Chains A and B, each alone.
Chain A
């Protein structure tokens, strides 16, 4: 089971190409980083892998088959702003259980406390919300995880806490992870290898 992006290119309408000929291969259990200056389409590329967007050219395959159009997506993504990724009119327990029922072990690993479950999203801090988004994305059928500036808004301690939880689960389940971050030190700490997005054009 591997995630493979082949000659992927994207642009809006007839506008200029945001990027073209992007080739990325992600093996199970592998943690890969992407660097590159902002505004070059790293986020859009992540959205394509997660199925939020379709590539204008090129293909994305999981295990040799194209990404499914419906049903649970094997590539899940966690975004930078958790407050946008949670329905403001849902209590947290509903947010958490949207895809599946995470077990107690996972919640403990991520430091999610029972009393948070009865709160509204706006009553939690960004760091607390982001833990929910991570838990939600780690369903049993998630094969690959895309972390697009996932901990950029969080303090160092919460960042380390969330990453440790993800790493241990990734190891246990042989899950592949793609990390986008501006922080080179975090990248060095986490990734097996790093791809420079500038190489593609």
Chain B
């Protein structure tokens, strides 16, 4: 059974135009994704594609002007606000994007301790620090004294020490050097191998490929493809969706060519397939109605032409 299931999720934001008119921007639309125990799922997409908002929606920390529809299930039971409040930080944990999420006035050691749910918080914290090669002196440091890599590992410790079953990591790698990235990613692998689940949100398809099992590709607020890592080889012949293909081909180690244009803004989404305006193989049919997610070769794709 899936540990986390997101079904038909839509998120929209109430916004105001220059005049005092109110409009609703749909930033995530009919999104479905599942996370299995023992698995790492990478959520890959451009900035502004709504991938961070998915994390915030799952954890129930969207801003006030957001409205949400669809269902999110944890261990088969729907996640209501009340249930979420008891699970958040215990079974569901977030590894946030930046060091700014640490309390600047609290020593790192005590911050990690407050996240722990075990009996002996001090030894739990020491254990986790040891595992992530954070020396004893780090315990009594303040966040500003940490280097980028140490801060990352501290954020990671906070999630790990909580004993969570599901970890959602939001862009844990950018700006780190390759050694630290590798280490952070192998930590996730280790965690998943223990039977937990990780959702790795990133724009960096390359590092995602190194450790994950499945990749969900986001475009303009919805998934266009869910593929196994094995599909990303060669010229991307096994890849289903044209956008995923474009991403793969744009990597510097591949062809380093880009497709023109950019992701549509939530205020002006095309009526049919969201990718149609930039798609090479688009036909008039693509502009009729948004395609549904369908199964194809052990994966999922949202394209009527995919084979």
**CB distance A39 to B147 under 8 Å?**
yes
Contact A126 B252 (CB under 8 A): no
**Could you give, for residues 214-253 of chain B, a 1 whenever the CB lies within 8 Å of some chain A CB and a 0 otherwise?**
0000000000000000000000000000000011101111
Interface residues of chain B: helix, strand, loop or mixed (majority)? loop
**A156 to B203, alpha carbons, bound, how many Å?**
8
Contact across chains for A157 and B177 when beta carbons are under 8 A apart: no
Inter-chain contact A186/B262, CB cutoff 8 Å: no
- Contacts A126-B47, A189-B252: A152 and B261 contacting too (C-beta < 8 A)? no
Partner of B203, one of A113, A153, A160, A189: A153
A127 touches B175 (CB 8 A): no
Report yes or no: A113 in contact with B262, Cβ–Cβ below 8 A. yes
Are B48 and A157 neighbours in the complex by a CB distance under 8 Å? no
Chain A residues numbered 120-173 whose CB sits less than 8 Å from any CB in chain B: 124-128, 149, 152-161, 163-164
A188's partner among B49, B247, B252 (CB-CB below 8 A) is: B252
Q: Is A184's CB within 8 Å of the partner chain B? A: yes
Interface centre among B178, B203, B261 (most CB of A within 10 A): B203
Other-chain residue from B44, B174, B250, B251 in contact with A153 (beta carbon distance below 8 A):
B174
Q: A38-B176, A111-B260 are in contact. Are A156 and B47 (CB under 8 A)?
A: no
Q: Digit string of A104-116 for contact with B (CB within 8 Å is 1, else 0)?
A: 0000000101010
- A183 interfacial contact with B, CB 8 Å: yes
C-alpha gap A192/B148 in the complex (Å): 29
* Complex alpha-carbon distance, A48 and B258, angstroms: 32
Q: Which of B46, B147, B176, B206 contacts A127 (CB 8 A)?
A: B46
- Which residues of A approach B to under 8 Å, CB–CB? 37-39, 80, 111, 113, 115, 124-128, 149, 152-161, 163-164, 182-186, 188-190
Closest 10 CB pairs of A and B: A125-B48, A160-B258, A155-B46, A161-B258, A126-B47, A189-B252, A160-B250, A156-B250, A185-B253, A186-B252
